[in-house]
Amino acid sequence: MFNKRVKIKDLLQQDANEQEVTVMGWVRTFRNNQFVALNDGSTNNNLQVVLELGKFDEELLKRITTSASLKVTGIVLPSQGKGQKLEVKATLLEILGDSDAEKYPLQPKKHSLEFLREIAHLRFRTNTYGSVFRLRHALAFAVHKFYNEKGFLYLHTPVITASDAEGAGEMFRVSTLPFDNPPRNEDGTINYKEDFFGKATNLTVSGQLEGELGATAFGEIYTFGPTFRAENSNTARHLAEFWMIEPEMAFCDLEDNMNLAEEFIKYIIRYAMEHNREDLEFLAQRLADEEKQLPQDKRSELGLIEKLEFVVNNEFERITYTEAIDILLQSPAYKKKKFQYDVKWGIDMQSEHERYLVEKHFKKPVIVTNYPAAIKAFYMRQDDGCEPGRETVAAMDILAPGIGEIVGGSQREERLDKLEQRMKEMHVPAEDLWWYLDTRRFGSVPHAGFGLGFERMVQFVTGMGNIRDVIAFPRTPKNCEF
């Protein structure tokens, strides 16, 4: 019978009622041969278990080492010590699993995130990752809660896909062919007709195209699943396997799309702030301590919680691409030639430009809309009435301080002729996407959607600087451990 155990988080919220309880967890520290700091993952706050001197066998006490797992039954009493409101005076103590202190890599001391990343299977047992992953859970739950309350249908789009048409990046090939000797056509190319699906297949880079199929039947749908990019990206904000949320709405234009994205982001942040306050406070303190070592000018103006409150309580700035370029051209940074890359209408904005807009100029999340058609995807709706040479599309990117692009979306091109013409221009094979084009053939409607990188959202909320620290088992180039 294990299910009679009390979660430490719940126990710590009770009064010291002198009742008997049973708790289970892992030892964080064992002080003075008397005090066990026990943690069960429900909170960073440890339960103090008191072992009265002489009551327990010496050999048993020796086995209470860092991360040994314990079952403790005892009486909940007001704590005589200072660090906690209550404690459990043990009457029964059972070691469920020993932990060899000489071999166990985690110690009751500060470890670097780089080291902990190498022991990702154990890092959940630290306060930092405990808070990060409880927050990740809260955010994921809030995503579903938000869309459910809005009447969106959760659509599971496929992980394996045959469409290579989206151009969102390099793809991972999925195949059961023998890679050392695959069947070949007469011209030497690989014969995918012999492959499992009878054609070349890959892991998905986006559920959007399938999402549009759902939206043009259910009205509003969202997807929330894993996404794969085989880019050789070695940065603190890229993963080869990450999670993305992609809502797609029929009868929806660019402005509706922006409104939803802004409301959505604020909702899930607010949910985390309400439900995981202690974890946020812990991470805020961690970040503040870390920044103490930085020079004054590199430190954040706002603490983590102040930053989130600011985002939740203020409107996102909304500007067009053209306005963004004008701001950059007028900026002191541009005039002093501080930018490494040149600024002019038509460029794809570089990180330094986006950072200037978000972190220096507006100091809040910014939604940039109506990008040049030439630098955006084929499915984005072409703006009407553009002057020649300045064609734009109804795209919108949300840029967040410290993270960069957190949302990318657009109103979709619902006019069949315009879509087909654009696909031709961009060499997207229309015959492979016949099913996508059918939505424009049969009852086409104005519709829009966006993708939100979930890990980047978790980074933003937790303040973690490296995306590898907000996903349980990060997949990056040359790294697929665990």
Partner RNA sequence: UCCUCCCUAGCUCAGUUGGUUAGAGCAUCUGACUGUUAAUCAGAGGGUCGCUGGUUCAAGUCCAGCGGGGGGAGCCA
Q: Restricting to residues 169-208, which ones interact with RNA according to CB under 7 A?
A: 169, 206
Question: Which C-beta is closer to RNA: that of 246 or that of 383?
Answer: 246
Minimum distance, C-beta of residue 89 to RNA, in the bound complex (Å): 7
Q: Rule CB under 7 A: is residue 443 a binding residue for RNA?
A: no
Minimum distance, C-beta of residue 276 to RNA, in the bound complex (Å): 22
Backbone angles phi, psi at 257, to 5 degrees: -60, -45
Q: Which member of 107, 185, 191, 330 binds RNA (CB under 7 A)? A: 107
Minimum distance, C-beta of residue 339 to RNA, in the bound complex (Å): 10
9, HSE (Cβ side, Cα atoms, 13 Å): 11
Question: Which C-beta is closer to RNA: that of 135 or that of 406?
Answer: 406
- Closest listed residue to residue 37, CA positions, set 49, 24, 20, 25: 49
Give the integer Cα–Cα distance in Å for 414 and 279. 44
Q: Rule CB under 7 A: is residue 34 a binding residue for RNA?
A: yes
Question: Which C-beta is closer to RNA: that of 138 or that of 464?
Answer: 464
**Restricting to residues 222-241, which ones interact with RNA according to CB under 7 A?**
229, 231-240
Contact letters for RNA, residues 245-274 (x by CB under 7 A): ------------------------------
Minimum distance, C-beta of residue 62 to RNA, in the bound complex (Å): 7
Q: Evaluate whether 476 touches 239 at the Cβ level (below 8 Å).
A: yes
Dihedral (Cα; 50, 56, 57, 58), 10-degree rounding: 30
Contact letters for RNA, residues 275-314 (x by CB under 7 A): ----------------------------------------
Q: Evaluate whether 388 touches 344 at the Cβ level (below 8 Å).
A: no
Minimum distance, C-beta of residue 20 to RNA, in the bound complex (Å): 17
Give the integer Cα–Cα distance in Å for 88 and 73. 8
Interface segment toward RNA; rule CB under 7 A; list 2-10, 150-158, 178-186, 460-468 = 460-468
Q: Rule CB under 7 A: is residue 65 a binding residue for RNA?
A: yes
**Restricting to residues 67-96, which ones interact with RNA according to CB under 7 A?**
79-84, 87, 89
Judging by DSSP bridges, how do beta strands 86-97 and 47-50 pair with one another?
Answer: parallel
- Closest listed residue to residue 228, CA positions, set 171, 174, 162, 156: 171
- Distance, CA of 372 to chain centre: 28
Interface segment toward RNA; rule CB under 7 A; list 154-162, 211-219, 310-318, 474-482 = 474-482
**Restricting to residues 379-418, which ones interact with RNA according to CB under 7 A?**
404-408
Q: Which member of 7, 9, 16, 29 binds RNA (CB under 7 A)? A: 29
Interface segment toward RNA; rule CB under 7 A; list 120-128, 312-320, 382-390, 449-457 = 449-457
- Distance, CA of 241 to chain centre: 11
Minimum distance, C-beta of residue 139 to RNA, in the bound complex (Å): 14
Interface segment toward RNA; rule CB under 7 A; list 62-70, 145-153, 364-372, 381-389 = 62-70
- The tokens of 389 are what? 């040479």
Strand order in the sheet with 220-228: 153-154, 220-228, 241-250, 447-453, 404-411, 395-400, 366-369, 317-320
Length of the chain (residues): 482
Question: Which C-beta is closer to RNA: that of 185 or that of 232?
Answer: 232
Residue 304's Cβ-count burial label (10 Å; 0-12, 13-18, 19+) is: buried
**Restricting to residues 342-371, which ones interact with RNA according to CB under 7 A?**
348, 350-352, 355
Q: Rule CB under 7 A: is residue 22 a binding residue for RNA?
A: no
* Contacts for 371 with CB less than 8 Å, ≥ 6 apart: 321, 392, 393, 395, 397
CA torsion through residues 109, 110, 112, 117, sign: positive
Q: Rule CB under 7 A: is residue 419 a binding residue for RNA?
A: no
Minimum distance, C-beta of residue 297 to RNA, in the bound complex (Å): 15
Residue 171's Cβ-count burial label (10 Å; 0-12, 13-18, 19+) is: buried
Minimum distance, C-beta of residue 1 to RNA, in the bound complex (Å): 28
92, β-bridge pairs: 73
Question: Which C-beta is closer to RNA: that of 32 or that of 181?
Answer: 32
Interface segment toward RNA; rule CB under 7 A; list 31-39, 186-194, 290-298, 381-389 = 31-39
HEC profile for 180-214? CCCCECCCCCECHHHCCCCCCEEECCCCHHHHHHH
Minimum distance, C-beta of residue 113 to RNA, in the bound complex (Å): 8
Angle at 280 between CA 125 and CA 242, to 5 degrees: 70
**Restricting to residues 117-156, which ones interact with RNA according to CB under 7 A?**
117
Minimum distance, C-beta of residue 478 to RNA, in the bound complex (Å): 4
Minimum distance, C-beta of residue 460 to RNA, in the bound complex (Å): 11
Minimum distance, C-beta of residue 403 to RNA, in the bound complex (Å): 8
Q: Rule CB under 7 A: is residue 115 a binding residue for RNA?
A: yes
